[in-house]
Amino acid sequence: MAYIAVITGSNKGIGLEAARQLIKKGFQVFMTARRKEEGRKAVDQLSANGNARFVYLEVTEPDSVRKAAREVSEQADHVDVLINNAGIFPDGDSSILNVDQLLLEKSFLTNAAGAVLVSQAFWPLLARAKTGRIINVSSGLGSLSEMGSSAPTYSISKAALNAVTRQFAAALKDKGIIVNSACPGWVRTEMGGPQAPRSVEEGAEGIVWLATEAPADWTGNFIRDHQVIPW
């Protein structure tokens, strides 16, 4: 039985690289994106001999999420790995003292509520795998123990995503699905910018490790570089 993964926001950056690394390990990957042309180009770019397929998925639109899960279920009888990777960093130099409420909502809807919608739609397929794995791509900026005042809407939404991880880890424990948050470090992507110390390959590696090799009893954790880190 082939190993199957679904990745949100995989038309570029860490999501695209995670797809590349999983395909190299023999996975079939449903690469999802909210922009059809870019999504299809990303699939073509990996020239994966049919092991990558494009599915349209906008994480803030419930209909799109449900449709994507249906589309995947028509092509696969289970899913081993779901990577909730799609995310935005809209803060610029905004401050919590006067940040716009719309920005706060936008970050929350994409970075936290999006992962809830997608996990709700896909867990029944993950429950059919031997060990289903959900990886929520979080950030050190969402760590309450490290948090300062930078990037308020992003940081708050990633802290909320960590809570999403805890909720789903507990709710899905008896279904044999493990759920963890992963911090990729600061990575050179469109979001991370050119100054970031990590390559996209390095950023995706820890996520792919969680998707494939991390112990099957690790659930409800926040993980960076294969180590549990504080919330």
Residues that bind ligand NAP (CB under 6 A): 8-9, 11-15, 33-35, 38, 58-60, 85-88, 110, 137, 139, 183-184, 186-187, 189-192, 196
C-alpha dihedral (166, 229, 205, 117), degrees to nearest 10? 20
> Min. distance of Cβ 10 from ligand NAP in angstroms?
6
Nearer to ligand NAP, 85 or 153 (CB): 85
CB of 182 to ligand NAP, least distance (A): 9
Nearer Cβ to ligand NAP (33/121): 33
> Residue 38 Cβ, how far from ligand NAP at the closest point, in Å?
6
Task: Give the nearer residue to ligand NAP in terms of CB position, either 177 or 183.
Answer: 183
CB of 185: closest distance to ligand NAP in angstroms?
7
**C-alpha atoms less than 13 angstroms from C-alpha of 164 in its C-beta half-sphere:** 28
Which residues lie below 8 Å from residue 227, measured CB to CB, with a gap of 6+? none
Residue nearest to ligand NAP (CB): 13
The residue count for the chain: 231
Residue pair 126/80 in contact by the 8 Å Cβ criterion: yes
Question: Which of 190/217 has CB closer to ligand NAP?
Answer: 190
Nearer to ligand NAP, 186 or 231 (CB): 186
Taking the complex as a whole, how short is the minimal distance between the CB of residue 18 and ligand NAP, in angstroms?
9
Match 């395909």 to its residue by tokens: 23
Q: How far apart are CA 199 and CA 189, in angstroms?
A: 8
- Minimum Å distance from CB 211 to ligand NAP? 14
Strand order in the sheet with 81-84: 52-56, 28-33, 4-7, 81-84, 132-137, 177-182, 222-224, 227-228
Cα torsion through 89, 53, 3, 179, rounded to 10: 20
* Closer to ligand NAP by Cβ: residue 57 or 126: 57
